[in-house]
Structure 1
Amino acid sequence: MCFPRLFSGKSGGYFASIMVLLSFLVAAVNYFGLGDGPRHEVLWQWLPDMALRANLSVGFYLDQLSSLMTLIITGIGFLIHLYSVSYMSHDAKFGRFFAFLNFFVSMMLILVLADSYPLMFVGWEGVGTASFLLIGFWFAGRGEAKDAASFAAANTEGINNSNAARKAFIMNRIGDLGFMLGMFLLFKLFGTVSIPELMQNPILGAASAGQQVVLGGTLANGIELVCLFLLVGAIGKSGQLPLTTWLPDAMAGPTPVSALIHAATMVTAGVYLIARSHFLFDLAPHASTWVAWVGGLTALYGALSALNQSDIKKILAFSTVSQLGYMFMAVGLHAYSAGVFHLLTHAFFKALLFLAAGAVIHALHEEQDVRKMGGMHKFMPFTHIVSLMGVLAICGIPIWSGFFSKDAILAAAYTTNPALYVIGLGVALLTAFYMGRWYFLVWRGEYRGHVAHPHDADMLMKVPLGILAAGATLIGLLNIPAFLGGGHAFDNFLGRAIPVHAHEIAHSTELLLTVLAVLAGVAGLGWAYWEHKGRHLFNGPLGQTSAHALYLQELYDGLVGNPSRAVASGLDTVDRGVDSALSGVARNTSASGGLFTLWQNGFVRAYAVSMLLGTALIIGYWAVKTIGSGL
């Protein structure tokens, strides 16, 4: 972007990818060299002797949680970069795209490594800016306009893309306000916003260690309020109810952007914020309950909205909304390890599904309607196999990764809040249905596309897809539960940084819960097959409601959008009227002034004539007055 002549062709994409790969290698070295204790490095003082004598530094804090996040961001991010070299190769703004991708990754790294909430907020806002640039990347539409029709189509696409970018940016500002209020109140209560210092606070540290802490009314209420404010920030960034409508519209960006935002970076920031702030939420039972219920209801909303979508990427987008709801439900129940583990597995299978969808879109010349696909397994056998692995993972089918992470969340809900467990189990059924429908409509049946000979992805796209498919299949083995002969290795690893809060449950009960979850997944896939054969859902009331995402956007338009636009239109009319009236006064004034400008022309002879005429008028006036007084 800065040196377009230096990075011509695909070289800019390769350079950007190598930079992220090097970042991944650094993250891996730090991960293996971490040991049991965290590492905290202060680079410089940011605002010394300010903010009520509190020194605010720029520093990075690395423990098991932040180290895991750096591996996800750089590892998945590198694969998406590599895939994008091929996917975006014909785009006129190829170099700019990779500059934005690198900016996105760098801001996300600042977010997860920050040693204080203000520095985290810098990364938080940087990620929001990068998402605005990437979602609206095709702000002028795609391709060259060859005639009036293609020009109009490109213009409409560009407007929609720009609106989606602005929508994401504006809705996130609501959440950002909550983040700032929580940060300011946190400083008011404890006199610091440094994460290591807060962890070492006697009260907060005791709670994190699992000790019983008795708080005074003012402090207890203050911590509850801080956590509620932080929850608002997390809701905005992670697209949870009620600030969820921006996330499906973020599909306006190129498909690799969808994978990066939905899988490895931005939308998981809210989950990370709550897990990172566990020392606060452990002392805020009411706020934690809000987190869990927001997550549960969002998981249900996302699943219901995904049932009858027709856009290949929007099905996955609403799926992300739903899976993030699972993560929120887990961290709200203080099952932090389960939530973060699902974040990890989701990063693999959701990036895989988005990139596979991008390969299909690429092969069908930008077609995204699943009703115009079908039978793609004959043309794209490799992408078909890896897509099937992603579907099995998100549906929680053994031995794929989603089976392990989703079951851990359901087990935590069962022991803590049975109502949320029922919602979670129902969402598991719905997830298997809409992902089964996605699979059957795209890959099975008769081909309904308009491209004569679709082709499979090239090697630059296949390599990331293959690695992600392997991860989606095997990464769940990192946390095999005890009743299956495992040792909860991931829980033990993450427990060095944040409390795991493992819920005691009998092995027989856990086995029963696992069987129920697997049956829900299998039943959902069977339902999808039955619906695909008979097309029972498309025209029903449930189908229409799902296709409109439960009419949430229409509700917002009716309550907020349309009234706001009407007020703005009225003010614009008044402004134009006032401007017209003032313009009339200005024209009249300038017209009369124009007569004088003819005389005030800058020529000395004109001014001499003016003086002569003025003198003559004065003498004439004096003469007339003298003669009149003599008579």
Structure 2
Amino acid sequence: MPLYLLPLLPLLGFALLMLLPKAFPGKTGGWLASGTVLAAFVIALTRYLGLGGTPDQETVIANWLPNMALGKNLSVGFYLDQLSSVMTLIITGIGFLIHVYSVSYMSHDAKFTRFFAFLNFFVSMMLILVLADSYPLMFVGWEGVGMASYLLIGFWFNGRNSEASDRDVREASDREAVANSNAARKAFIMNRIGDLGFMLGMFLLYKLYGTLNIPELAARVEGASVVQAGIELACLFLLVGAVGKSGQLPLTTWLPDAMAGPTPVSALIHAATMVTAGVYLVARSNFLYDLAPNASMWVAWVGALTALYGALSALNQHDIKKILAYSTVSQLGYMFLAVGLHSYSAGVFHLLTHAFFKALLFLCAGAVIHALHEEQDVRLMGGMRRFMPMTHLFSLMGVLAIAGIPIWSGFFSKDAILAAAFDANPLLYLIGLGVAFLTAFYMGRWYFLVWRGTYRGHVAHPHEADPIMLAPLGILAALATLGGFLNIPTFLGGNHAFDSFLSKAVPVHAHEIAHSTELILTLLAVGAGLGGLFWAWTEHRSGLLAHGPLGRTSAAALYLNDLYDGLFSNPSRGVAYGLDVVDRGVDGTVGGIARSASGTGTAFTWWQSGFVRAYAVSMLLGTALMVGYWALKTIGMGGGQ
């Protein structure tokens, strides 16, 4: 089956649900959307099983610059190798489970069908991103997931109870609407900063090598004399793009705010799609970063510092989802640390295991929120294991996985990253080990506050999630528990199966570490995980859990948002307010200019009628004009001969 069916199927689901919403009453829209992603997963699995040593490359979709005499190439098509194959399985497999879960979770939402249309669009754009054989086509998917995240983060842009009769409920809904809209705008704007870096990197690479086709660029870089400064600068530009999309420092503050969307959106963004795009970009560009040691070290240090920032910020959050959000920031930092040290396989393997346990944790959190009538404050939970025994069990599996406890998946993937850091730089290793300890603590805190102790909630009888929600949780719990066995290290009797598979697409750099040393490192990592969980248990028993100056600093996310408000937001609002005061106090010149511009724009609104038939006529007329111009030009050229 052709590769283009992978993104096309969910894109067709999006089109049907948006254009014909009334044709899918009840939950049928949700099942249709789930079915398109399941079909895409079957295709991804089929292509994965049939993938040999040679990557699959589809026929070129378009050739933007066909003058090959100049050595230029901007053709775009789809490309499947071991790296993109793993990504398609994650996107469609985890995406399908989240879709199924959402059928029940969103069943009472008034915009149920639209929600699933946006989910399908998200999955389609992410598939385009990872299957692209060129940076321009990757950028199309890159922007597509940015738009999808904007739509889904701000999905409740008018609040969930805007039509309630109770005044207090309606006012709370209005406050929620403002917060949701601000979160969506923040994500959109901060990602545009990263996108500028991506574009500058593309422009520079095209200037240096005359192509943006990734396999061809890799061959040209290998066969040509390396322009060291140019490669370093291009990699730094691409890093800016990756930092924006994956919420790394300094563009990290949008990611925790993305919790404003429905919980399945949080799971999809944080586990299977958007935020992993930055890691994928660096791994896909490995042939560039291998030639850019300075840029690679920047990637590693950005990852290490972000991992530490996310872990410290998660220590004393009170929102059940924000703890997990800052955890995602931290775990993505681990992935950047790995790929920055050229340990691409370790980074991608942690991306895979993180998709399992983070999707599981978010969906478990969603089940708790659902049972407590949208309550998200962990201080108003406790003892939930009595009411939700199955969800409690699945949550425990996720906590043990992210804490790096053997035999759960995070143990294997995090160990590989720490080994790479130890081999490269002792300070990076110590930061990574410290983050492992903090991770176990804040996830232990999450677990104890939600599931153990005395129930502190206001809902009289919280209920267990229904079977439609529990089924995806069970599958994810199994994957979070057993997924690490895909890549057992040699010193534990394994053969690095995942590394061997991925080595056909990205270089797997071996570490010069003795097995005895690796065993000691493993024991230290396990000790850090167990120590963090024990600390959380003792703090829970004493009723403290990160109080004091550290607790206040953590709750404020190290005051990074306040810093940005002071440096950028408040001054810009002050300038705007000052201009408004001056304008009203003088003669209204600024307002007059604005009204003139608005009037000019209004004059053209007749063209944007919103009717599909009008747009179709416009496209037809435009095509006719282009064909006519081409025909006249051809006749003219013939006459000139």
- Answer whether TM exceeds 0.5 for this pair: yes
Q: Aligned runs of 1:288-307 on 2, under 5 Å? A: 288-307=296-315
Q: Aligned runs of 1:557-572 on 2, under 5 Å? A: 557-572=565-580
Partner residue of 2:113? 95
RMSD of aligned alpha carbons = 1.5
Distance 1:46 1:92 in 2: 43
- The AA in structure 1 aligned to 2:561 is Q
Distance 1:19 1:326 in 2: 33
* Alpha-carbon distance, 1:538 to partner: 4.6
* Alpha-carbon distance, 1:205 to partner: 6.4
- The AA in structure 1 aligned to 2:94 is I
* Alpha-carbon distance, 1:44 to partner: 2.8
Per-residue Cα deviation, 1:267-320 (whole angstroms, up to 9, x for no partner) = 000000000000000000000000000000000000000000000000000000
Distance 2:147 2:586 in 1: 36
Identity %: 76
Q: 2:208 aligns with which of 180, 186, 189?
A: 189
Say which one has the larger Rg: 1
Change (3 A) 1:583 1:475: closer
SS of equivalent to 2:212: coil
Distance 1:70 1:182 in 2: 25
Q: 1:86 aligns with which of 94, 100, 104?
A: 104
Partner residue of 1:257? 265
For the pair 1:19 / 2:19, whether they are aligned, the reply is: no
Per-residue Cα deviation, 1:300-356 (whole angstroms, up to 9, x for no partner) = 000000000000000000000000000000000000000000000000000000000
Distance 1:142 1:28 in 2: 38
Q: Is the 8 A contact 1:45 1:55 kept in 2?
A: no
Which deviates more, 344-353 or 532-541?
532-541
For the pair 1:66 / 2:84, whether they are aligned, the reply is: yes
SS of equivalent to 2:21: coil
Partner residue of 1:108? 126
Per-residue Cα deviation, 1:595-624 (whole angstroms, up to 9, x for no partner) = xxxxxxxxxxxxxxxxxxxxxxxxxxxxxx
- The AA in structure 2 aligned to 1:265 is T
For the pair 1:228 / 2:245, whether they are aligned, the reply is: no
Distance 1:563 1:106 in 2: 39
Partner residue of 1:180? 199
Per-residue Cα deviation, 1:468-487 (whole angstroms, up to 9, x for no partner) = 00000001000000000000
For the pair 1:372 / 2:380, whether they are aligned, the reply is: yes
Partner residue of 1:169? 188
Q: Is the 8 A contact 1:478 1:490 kept in 2?
A: yes
For the pair 1:454 / 2:462, whether they are aligned, the reply is: yes
Change (3 A) 1:559 1:485: same
Q: Aligned runs of 1:22-33 on 2, under 5 Å? A: 22-33=39-50
* Alpha-carbon distance, 1:146 to partner: 1.3
Distance 1:583 1:307 in 2: 47
* Alpha-carbon distance, 1:582 to partner: 9.7
Partner residue of 2:170? 151
Distance 1:18 1:115 in 2: 27
- The AA in structure 1 aligned to 2:160 is R
* Alpha-carbon distance, 1:35 to partner: 0.6
Partner residue of 2:348? 340
For the pair 1:393 / 2:401, whether they are aligned, the reply is: yes
- The AA in structure 1 aligned to 2:107 is S
Distance 1:472 1:133 in 2: 29
- The AA in structure 2 aligned to 1:100 is F
- The AA in structure 2 aligned to 1:10 is K
* Alpha-carbon distance, 1:502 to partner: 1.8
Q: Aligned runs of 1:430-469 on 2, under 5 Å? A: 430-469=438-477
Partner residue of 2:490? 482
Distance 2:166 2:465 in 1: 30
Partner residue of 1:8? 25
What stretches of structure 1 of length at least 5 have no aligned partner?
A: 207-214, 585-631
Q: Is the 8 A contact 1:42 1:58 kept in 2?
A: no
Q: Is the 8 A contact 2:73 2:212 kept in 1?
A: no
Per-residue Cα deviation, 1:115-172 (whole angstroms, up to 9, x for no partner) = 1000000000000000000000000001332122222111110010000000000000
* Alpha-carbon distance, 1:412 to partner: 0.4
Per-residue Cα deviation, 1:149-203 (whole angstroms, up to 9, x for no partner) = 22211111001000000000000000000000000000011010000101222x4
- The AA in structure 2 aligned to 1:34 is L
What stretches of structure 2 of length at least 5 have no aligned partner?
A: 1-17, 593-641
- The AA in structure 1 aligned to 2:212 is V
Distance 1:583 1:17 in 2: 49
SS of equivalent to 2:159: coil
SS of equivalent to 2:157: coil
Partner residue of 1:210? none
Per-residue Cα deviation, 1:231-264 (whole angstroms, up to 9, x for no partner) = 0000000000000000000000000000000000
- The AA in structure 1 aligned to 2:200 is L
Change (3 A) 1:76 1:583: closer
Distance 1:353 1:280 in 2: 35
SS of equivalent to 1:5: helix
Q: Is the 8 A contact 1:135 1:254 kept in 2?
A: yes
Q: Is the 8 A contact 2:373 2:459 kept in 1?
A: yes
* Alpha-carbon distance, 1:581 to partner: 7.0
Q: Is the 8 A contact 2:204 2:234 kept in 1?
A: yes
Per-residue Cα deviation, 1:427-473 (whole angstroms, up to 9, x for no partner) = 00000000000000000000001001101110110010000000000
Q: Is the 8 A contact 1:432 1:524 kept in 2?
A: yes
Per-residue Cα deviation, 1:378-409 (whole angstroms, up to 9, x for no partner) = 00000000000000000000000000000000
Change (3 A) 1:483 1:421: same
Partner residue of 2:631? none
Distance 1:255 1:46 in 2: 40
Which deviates more, 288-297 or 53-62?
53-62
Distance 2:40 2:554 in 1: 41
Q: State the TM-score, normalized to the length of structure 2.
A: 0.88
Q: How many residues matched?
A: 573
* Alpha-carbon distance, 1:50 to partner: 7.1
* Alpha-carbon distance, 1:226 to partner: 0.3
- The AA in structure 2 aligned to 1:56 is L
For the pair 1:284 / 2:301, whether they are aligned, the reply is: no
